[in-house]
Structure 1
């Protein structure tokens, strides 16, 4: 049983094709990140079967895909034994993340703190909101970039990220240019909510960046734009449409289930002390 690592996306795809194709939902973070990752890894069983994958993004943040607890513990041993720069955070399904964090704490004395608990949902039958919110969905355009970037910063602040240190104009521009960011316009034609969707990879697309400014909340706009972007993903060829919710937010968890999303797995993010 062995971990292998590479910076070559083509080599990673070739080695992990069976697992990525069989478990696109559980591997959604790796599929989304792998083209821009600093490092990619896979875990093989004695018979050569790949049963775990990860993608490492700057600054030293591994995102686990489908991975066994055994592989997660072995990864901690690998990190310590190779004397490589140790991770600042790790994210993935709850069991493997806890196993990795506990093993790293034992082997290297690294303390760790849970920072976010998420739930991965997969769309079943898309169900439009009832009653439908007033207004309509439209694609965001170049003129929307400045204030959509500002909304993206507020979204990051809402979920506890260090928003001031990040560039939001670039990622927002990419999504808008590729036609992957929708806005909901209220009755007066003003944009009042937004949602984006990832590129479709291995048949899966992930809804994210669902945001409504505080002054516009409680009117159903998030439901409207989420239903619209989910339908756009399906129309664009996605066979699985996914999204993550913060388990501490019962409102969003209930909303997405009303739209037809069903739980897949729980996820955990942790940060490590020095």
Structure 2
């Protein structure tokens, strides 16, 4: 049993294709990162079967896909490239963190949800959903910065490119109030191995509490289904009971819990 690493996404796809396709929900983070990852890894059993995967992007921030805890315990990064942060299913992340011998602390506890039967919000919020266009890029980028700040991530990065890509591909929706004012947004990833993941669900503070997030989340989930996604997924912060309750009302059901951790710097 051993880990293998590559920077070549095509080689990774070839090696891990069966494992990725077997459970695209649990491998969602790796599937959505693999084409721009700095490093990709897979864990092979003695008979050659791949039973674990990871994708590292940005540098030194791996995301675990589905993997056995034995693979997580056996994972060793080359000296000088040890992760500064890590996210993945709770059991695997804890197994790696404890085996690493490095001081670590939890940063976020998340839950992966999968959409069952979509249940439109009732009562329906006032307004309507529409697909964002190029003129919406500045607003969506500003909201993306606010979203990053709200969840404790770096708000200083330039979100124009990532938001612009989603908008150009029709993957970002806005909810507009009856007077045509944008009041909420949600995006969805590309559909890979039949799964798509909803993200960037954001409503400015002044417009919260009116059901806008429910409206746009239902709309973007419906759009993903209509475009051919067999599974629509999303992550929630377990520390946010409001969003967890909202997604359950819309028909999302828990899949597995995830953990994010940060490590103390490696001392030489």
TM-score by length of 2: 0.98
SS at match of 2:81: coil
Contact 2:16 2:50 in 1 (8 A): yes
User: Any unmatched runs of 5+ in structure 1?
Assistant: none
Contact 2:148 2:155 in 1 (8 A): yes
User: Any unmatched runs of 5+ in structure 2?
Assistant: none
Determine the structure 2 residue equivalent to 1:117: 109
Contact 2:38 2:59 in 1 (8 A): no
Deviations 1:42-73 (Å, cap 9, x if unpaired)? 00111111100000112311100001110001
RMSD across aligned positions (CA): 0.7
CA positional deviation for 1:187: 1.3
> Which whole-Å CA distance do the structure 2 matches of 1:206 and 1:162 have between them?
21
1:2-13 paired onto structure 2 within 5 Å: 2-13=2-13
By percentage of residues, which structure has more helix? 1
Determine the structure 2 residue equivalent to 1:62: 62
1:137 aligns with 2:129: yes
Determine the structure 2 residue equivalent to 1:216: 207
SS at match of 1:263: strand
> Which whole-Å CA distance do the structure 2 matches of 1:270 and 1:197 have between them?
25
SS at match of 1:116: strand
SS at match of 2:233: strand
Which aligned segments of 4 or more residues in structure 1 are displaced greater than 3 angstroms?
A: none
TM-score by length of 1: 0.96
How many residue pairs are counted as aligned between the two chains?
265
Deviations 1:144-197 (Å, cap 9, x if unpaired)? 111110000000000011212x11011000000000000000111100000000
> Which whole-Å CA distance do the structure 1 matches of 2:151 and 2:176 have between them?
24
Determine the structure 2 residue equivalent to 1:86: 82
